[in-house]
Structure 1
């Protein structure tokens, strides 16, 4: 049996295989409340050992994207319950990704009277879609005060607590893709002069405080975090390679000390192999690698011991039976990129499953 398809067992994670469905924005939560269509979507893909949800807002000010689900209201907790039940029915583990976009958002996507907030008052270049106004330039965020930072940390904690109440097995803190946690990490965006800015250790403080408090609330074995070293998503600019290396080595070392379940690393072409090796050496929990893997390259990555689990994104978008297709060595559906974020069933739950064992 391929290692990819074999069960994975460690102290904090027991999975039916080594395959993770990566978190992917899908924008189907009408009114920011999870619904039956989302239960069908995630249920279709529960062949994965672990599914991580799309980024989910722990507070109203974190609703950066149109139709982004939340986990801060009673209606949202109740809306997630049928989704978690559907995934668990197939024996998959289900983590909710807690995401605060920070400056990556627009006030038209936020509830009335709610302001966009970030590490600093530096707007990102680029545009974001809003249902009310179409494509708009990113709004300028307010700089989070120290009190505001603590409030955001508290929202991650309450979001994690609500996730467990909704039936999730744990949460993944989103520290990647140019969102709030990575905005604190990047010195080109973080111009703070307090304890959350300046030195590398100060810029990493916010990420670590979120993880510590979330772990204290729901248990460290129920917490993971996602990073994207060297990523330029969200209008992040590269910074000194040595400082970048030191930042993620330091994070890996500190996260090992906290004892969380996993680190999930989104790899880009700019991510040096030495960075991945350093994270592997420093962090002793489960390590997930993601981005650009095929079933074949994923198997090689696992056999070499570079990672413990492999996460797939696009392949799960278009192939609800992706795990079965790996087992059968079958061909894959192509992704319809025009329907990634549109509301409704098209391009969401209508991708066909295998009708016969078609070999590549």
Structure 2
């Protein structure tokens, strides 16, 4: 029988009822002090029919906000807030992983009491036309400080475990701190964390090892985006990067690799997926512009084990059911993507309203 979007999937220690994964998407709906609240709990519970929800990028350290009302996982109030989210998802029959990250030079001083961001480099992000963020030149992390960064991730991972998450995803993509070390257009270091690919991957792998120590390898995933240029980043040899990372996570028996494509069907992106498949035997999740048919095709051909959907989940909390029925998809209002409150967040209707034990909103 051919593998389909609705085939079950054993993802490490997790049994998923389908292969439709919800992408981590920053929506800036956290409460003050970066605490997840009832609004976020309802949003995720509405989408619990996905095989796996990957919750949005969540900071492991204070004064590192990249978006404003983005969530954290570094204090007790945030743990309690995320526990409310996890409990709501579990009550709706779902499974949820937390994507943990440090934005590095993408942190905005204006959101962090003027604190200068840190990075692998001292060069600021060059913003494209239309990007109105107010960025600053980062402070290059000293060699002696890198251990504290690893410790911040360790504490965040322990907090995620305390909050009850089923798994974690290490965010090594999109030009954030781990990616700033990994890709050579940003990493201009000459110490043990710069130069060779092995050195540039050292911090990423150290954080991955901490995740395995806390959750076990069967509940840990990694996201990379070797060809995605967001946050002014690239790599001179993305094929070698994917091969090395794939070999290292294979050696660690990591549960899944979330390969974030700029466009999944671009020839060079397909080549990277083939390299990942060759060197890594775990679950390969692919993401980047998939619809129902293209996702189904890549599952059937074996070019992916699961498909990660982002934009389709924005306005379709019941995306799994809509795909199953081949029903039309609702279109999101992108003007409400990052605005406060419930509009454009929890008010997109399902085809058939589900009965969900949702947290009450104040």
Q: Structure 1 length as normaliser, TM-score?
A: 0.92
1-side partners of 2:317 and 2:129: how far apart?
28
SS in 2 for 1:98: strand
- Give the conservation status (yes or no) of the 8 Å contact 1:178–1:232: yes
1-side partners of 2:183 and 2:255: how far apart?
25
- 1:89 is aligned to 2:86: no
2-side partners of 1:91 and 1:8: how far apart?
16
Aligned to 1:39: 41
Seen in structure 2, the aligned counterparts of structure 1 residues 223 and 92 have a Cα distance that, compared at 3 Å, is same
SS in 2 for 1:265: strand
Give the one of 183, 186, 190 matched to 1:186: 183
1-side partners of 2:219 and 2:269: how far apart?
29
2-side partners of 1:73 and 1:107: how far apart?
21
- Give the conservation status (yes or no) of the 8 Å contact 1:231–1:268: yes
- 1:143 is aligned to 2:140: yes
Aligned to 2:120: 119
Give the one of 259, 267, 278 matched to 1:265: 259
Give the deviation of 1:194 after TM superposition. Answer: 0.6
Give the one of 209, 224, 230 matched to 2:221: 224
2-side partners of 1:320 and 1:122: how far apart?
40
Q: Deviations over 1:158-203 (max 9, x none)?
A: 1111011111011100011111111111212111111100111111
For this pair of structures, how many residues does the alignment match?
Answer: 348
SS in 2 for 1:23: coil
Give the one of 74, 77, 84 matched to 2:76: 74
Give the deviation of 1:114 after TM superposition. Answer: 3.7
Aligned to 1:155: 152
Seen in structure 2, the aligned counterparts of structure 1 residues 2 and 324 have a Cα distance that, compared at 3 Å, is farther
- 1:282 is aligned to 2:284: no
Give the deviation of 1:63 after TM superposition. Answer: 1.9
2-side partners of 1:155 and 1:198: how far apart?
24
2-side partners of 1:106 and 1:127: how far apart?
16
Q: Structure 2 length as normaliser, TM-score?
A: 0.92
Aligned to 2:359: none
Structure 2 residues not aligned, in runs of 5+? 354-362
1-side partners of 2:129 and 2:97: how far apart?
26
Seen in structure 2, the aligned counterparts of structure 1 residues 136 and 316 have a Cα distance that, compared at 3 Å, is closer
- 1:63 is aligned to 2:65: yes
SS in 2 for 1:84: helix
- Give the conservation status (yes or no) of the 8 Å contact 1:128–1:138: no
Seen in structure 2, the aligned counterparts of structure 1 residues 245 and 262 have a Cα distance that, compared at 3 Å, is same
Q: Which has the higher relative contact order, 1 or 2, with Cα contacts under 8 A spaced 6 or more apart?
A: 2
Give the deviation of 1:12 after TM superposition. Answer: 2.3
- Give the conservation status (yes or no) of the 8 Å contact 2:46–2:318: yes
Seen in structure 2, the aligned counterparts of structure 1 residues 37 and 10 have a Cα distance that, compared at 3 Å, is closer
- Give the conservation status (yes or no) of the 8 Å contact 2:12–2:256: no
2-side partners of 1:253 and 1:213: how far apart?
18
SS in 2 for 1:137: coil
Aligned to 1:292: 289
